[in-house]
C-alpha cells in the first residue's frame, strides 16, 4: 500500500504523447513518468511557457524534450524548430543524445554545438538542415553572428540549467540569442535553484509561465525506518565496478539493487553474474508466480541479490533483506524513502547505500531535505580497504569457529601435524586456506578517485574549453582472463572436466583454453579475455562433476 506512489494508469500514454514517442520510451525501459515529467509534460504540450525547478537526475531532460519532439514537424524546413541552451559541452552532448533517443522513430535531426569542437563539421550539418539545436550560448551566438544559424523558425526555446549558465557568465549571450527568436515562441526554463536573477529572466522572457518544483511530500518521510544510510562518490563510467566494490566490503546476506530502467536492470544483473555474484532481475512485467519463484530462490540462498526498478519492487514481501543499494538515485526523493523502507523491518538492522556521481549531488541534497537526515558522500573503499575488510571478516569467522563445537574431532590431525611442525605455522596455513576458500584476493582493480563535488563549477568550465577531467587511467586488459571456479581436487575435478565444460558449453576450442591450476578447493583457468564473460556465464549454468560451483572472474595478477 505504501508502495502506491502513483495511480494505476499514470503511465506515459496518459500524458497524451504521440505513439512514436511512447514506443521509444518503452524500448528504453522507462516504466512510468517521473514527478517532474508528470507535471511538466501536459502544460508544455498545450503550448504554455514553464519555469521548472528541478535538478539533474529528476528526469527533467525528458520533461522538456518529449513535448518539444511531440510538436516538431520534422523535415519541413532546413532551419531548426527548437533550440536548447545548456551551460556545458558535456550537457550539450547528453541532451542531444537524449533528444536523439526519444525522437528515434521521428527521424529527428539533432545537432550539439559547443566550443572546442571543429566548427566546419557543425557548418556542414547545419547546411544539410537540422530540427533541434542543443548548444552552449557562446557557440550558438557565434553561429548566429556568422549567419550560419537562423532562428526565425524556432517555436520552442529551452534554457536548461539556467542557474549554471548565469554562474558561467552567459547572461548577455542568452539575452542576445533570445532576441533573435520569434516573439510568439514557447519558452521553457529549468533551473536547480531559483535565485532572483533567474526570476528576473523568467519575468522578462516568459509569458505567464506555469511554475513547478519537485514535490515536497513529507508524508513518506514520517515512515522513515531506522536504517544506516551512506553514499559513495563514483566517477563516471565506473558505476558497475563501484557496485562490486561496495558489495565486497558490505557482504550483504540479501540485498536489493535499485535501478532506473528495465534496460539498466538487465545490464546490472548481467554485470553482477559475470563477476560471480548471484543476482536476479525483477521486472515490472513478471507475473506474481514468477515473482514468488524469485523470492523463493532468495530465501533458499540461491540468490543473494535482487536487481529491480521501483515499479517492479512494489508489493514485494522482503523481510529478509539486509541492504538496499541505489545503483542510481531515484528520480524523485520520495521514491528513495520507499526504497529504503525495504530494509530495517521488524527492528532488524538494515543499510541503505547510494552510488552518486558528483553531478548528482543536488538530487542527494533533495533527499536529505525530505528525510531530514544528512548523508555525506564518501570516497569508495580502495583495494587496500577491501583487503583490510577481508582480513577482518577472516578474523570474525575464525573467532566464531574457535568458540563453536565440534573441534575435538580434529585433535588427532593436529597432533600428527605438531609432530614435526610449529603450531603457529599450522595456524597460519589454516588461515590462508580459509581466506582462499572464501574467494581470496579477487577483484583488485583500483577505481579512480572522484574530484570533490565543490569543484563542480570549475570542472564544467574546463569541459566547455575542451580540457578533460583529471582522472587516473585504469590498467589495460592483458588479453587473457583468469576464471575462478570454486571446485578443486577434493571434488575429484580434473583438467579435462574444465576443458570439456568450457568447450562444450561456451563453444571454445580446447586449444583456446590456457593454463589450468587446480588446488584442493578451487581452480583457476585462463581463457581469452574476449571470451571470458561468455565462459563465465556458460559455466555458471553448467553442472561440473554434479555440482554448481561459484564461477567468477579472477583479477588478482600474480
Interface contacts to ligand AMP, rule CB under 6 A: 30, 33-34, 37, 56-62, 260-261, 331
316 CB contacts (<8 Å, ≥6 apart)? 282, 291, 295, 308, 342
- In the complex, what is the shortest distance from the CB of residue 460 to ligand AMP, in angstroms, rounded to a whole number? 14
What span, in angstroms and rounded, lies between the C-alpha atoms of 155 and 153?
Answer: 6
C-alpha span between 111 and 99 (Å, rounded): 10
| Residues 489 and 518: beta-carbon distance below 8 Å | yes
> How far is 342 from 349, CA to CA, in rounded Å?
11
Considering the complex, state which of residue 12 and residue 522 has its C-beta at the smaller distance from ligand AMP. 12
How many CB atoms lie under 10 A from the CB of residue 127?
Answer: 10
Shortest reach from residue 330's CB to ligand AMP, in Å:
9
Cβ-based neighbours of 314, under 8 Å, separated by 6 or more: 3, 4
Q: What share of the chain is helix, strand, coil (3-state, %, to 5)?
A: 45, 15, 40
Rg of the chain in Å (alpha carbons): 28
Q: Minimal distance in Å, beta carbon 9 to ligand AMP?
A: 15
Residues near 431 by beta carbon (within 8 Å), at least 6 away in sequence? 394, 398
Q: Which is nearer to ligand AMP, 37 or 96 (CB)?
A: 37
- Give 30 or 277: the residue with its C-beta nearer to ligand AMP: 30
What ranges make up the beta strands (E) of 221-344? 228-233, 255-258, 279-282, 305-308, 323-326
Cβ 33 to ligand AMP, closest distance in Å? 5
Please identify, using beta-carbon distances, which residue of 94 and 187 lies nearer to ligand AMP: 94
Instruction: Report in angstroms how near the CB of residue 309 gets to ligand AMP at its nearest.
Output: 8
Q: Minimal distance in Å, beta carbon 34 to ligand AMP? A: 5
| Least Cβ distance, residue 238 to ligand AMP (angstroms) | 16
Q: For ligand AMP, which is the closer residue by CB, 30 or 232?
A: 30
- List alpha helices for 50-104, DSSP H: 60-70, 89-102
C-beta of 160 vs 554, nearer to ligand AMP: 160
Distance CA 221, CA 228 (A): 15
Residue placing its CB nearer to ligand AMP in the complex, 264 or 554: 264
CB of 59 to ligand AMP, least distance (A): 3
Q: Taken in order 426, 431, 434, 439, is the CA torsion positive or negative?
A: negative
Query: Hey, how many other C-beta atoms are within 10 angstroms of the C-beta on 496?
Result: 11
**Smallest distance, Å, CB 443 to ligand AMP?**
26
Amino acid at each position: 500500500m505504501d508502495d502506491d506512489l502513483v495511480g494505476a494508469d499514470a503511465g506515459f500514454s496518459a500524458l497524451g504523447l504521440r505513439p512514436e514517442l511512447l514506443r521509444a520510451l518503452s524500448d528504453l525501459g522507462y516504466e512510468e513518468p517521473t514527478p517532474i515529467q508528470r507535471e511538466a509534460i501536459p502544460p508544455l504540450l498545450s503550448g504554455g511557457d514553464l519555469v521548472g525547478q528541478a535538478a539533474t537526475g529528476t528526469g527533467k531532460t525528458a520533461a522538456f524534450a518529449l513535448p518539444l519532439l511531440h510538436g516538431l514537424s520534422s523535415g519541413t524546413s532546413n532551419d531548426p524548430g527548437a533550440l536548447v541552451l545548456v551551460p556545458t559541452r558535456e550537457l550539450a552532448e547528453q541532451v542531444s543524445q537524449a533528444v536523439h533517443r526519444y525522437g528515434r522513430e521521428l527521424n529527428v535531426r539533432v545537432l550539439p554545438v559547443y566550443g572546442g569542437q571543429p566548427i566546419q563539421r557543425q557548418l556542414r550539418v547545419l547546411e544539410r538542415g537540422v530540427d533541434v539545436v542543443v548548444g552552449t550560448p557562446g557557440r550558438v551566438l557565434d553561429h548566429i553572428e556568422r549567419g550560419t544559424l537562423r532562428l526565425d523558425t524556432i517555436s520552442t526555446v529551452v534554457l536548461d540549467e539556467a542557474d549554471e549558465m548565469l554562474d558561467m557568465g552567459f547572461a548577455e549571450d542568452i539575452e542576445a540569442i533570445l532576441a533573435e527568436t520569434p516573439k510568439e515562441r514557447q519558452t521553457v526554463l529549468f533551473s536547480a535553484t531559483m535565485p532572483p536573477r533567474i526570476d528576473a529572466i523568467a519575468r522578462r522572457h516568459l509569458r505567464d509561465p506555469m511554475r513547478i518544483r519537485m514535490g515536497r511530500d513529507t508524508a513518506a518521510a514520517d515512515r522513515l525506518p531506522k536504517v544506516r544510510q551512506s553514499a559513495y562518490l563514483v566517477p563516471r563510467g565506473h558505476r558497475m565496478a563501484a557496485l562490486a566494490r561496495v558489495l565486497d566490503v558490505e557482504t550483504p546476506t540479501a540485498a536489493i539493487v535499485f535501478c532506473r530502467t528495465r534496460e539498466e536492470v538487465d545490464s546490472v544483473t548481467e554485470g553482477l553474474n559475470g563477476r560471480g555474484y548471484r543476482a536476479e532481475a525483477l521486472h515490472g512485467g513478471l507475473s506474481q508466480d514468477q515473482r514468488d519463484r524469485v523470492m523463493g530462490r532468495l530465501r533458499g540462498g540461491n540468490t543473494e541479490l535482487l536487481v529491480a526498478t521501483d515499479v517492479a519492487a512494489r508489493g514485494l514481501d522482503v523481510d529478509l533483506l539486509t541492504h538496499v543499494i541505489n545503483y542510481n538515485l531515484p528520480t524523485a526523493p520520495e521514491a528513495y524513502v520507499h526504497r529504503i523502507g525495504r530494509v530495517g523491518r521488524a527492528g532488524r538492522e538494515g543499510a541503505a547505500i547510494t552510488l552518486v556521481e558528483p553531478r548528482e549531488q543536488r538530487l542527494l541534497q533533495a533527499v536529505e531535505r525530505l528525510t531530514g537526515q544528512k548523508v555525506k558522500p564518501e570516497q569508495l573503499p580502495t583495494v587496500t580497504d577491501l583487503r583490510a575488510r577481508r582480513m577482518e571478516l577472516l578474523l570474525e569467522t575464525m573467532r566464531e569457529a574457535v568458540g563453536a563445537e565440534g573441534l575435538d574431532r580434529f585433535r588427532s590431525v593436529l597432533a600428527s601435524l605438531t609432530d614435526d611442525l610449529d603450531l603457529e605455522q599450522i595456524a597460519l596455513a589454516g588461515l590462508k586456506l580459509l581466506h582462499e576458500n572464501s574467494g581470496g584476493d579477487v577483484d583488485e582493480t583500483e577505481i579512480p578517485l572522484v574530484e570533490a563535488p565543490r569543484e563542480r563549477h570549475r570542472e564544467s568550465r574546463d569541459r566547455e574549453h575542451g580540457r578533460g577531467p583529471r582522472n587516473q587511467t585504469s590498467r589495460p586488459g592483458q588479453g587473457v582472463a583468469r576464471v575462478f571456479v570454486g571446485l578443486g581436487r577434493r571434488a575429484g575435478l580434473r583438467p579435462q572436466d574444465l576443458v570439456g565444460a568450457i568447450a562444450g558449453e561456451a563453444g571454445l576450442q580446447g586449444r583456446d583454453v590456457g593454463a589450468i591450476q587446480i588446488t584442493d578447493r578451487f581452480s583457476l583457468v585462463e581463457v581469452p579475455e574476449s571470451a571470458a564473460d561468455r565462459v563465465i556465464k556458460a559455466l555458471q549454468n553448467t553442472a561440473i562433476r554434479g555440482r554448481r560451483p561459484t564461477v567468477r572472474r579472477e583479477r588478482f595478477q600474480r
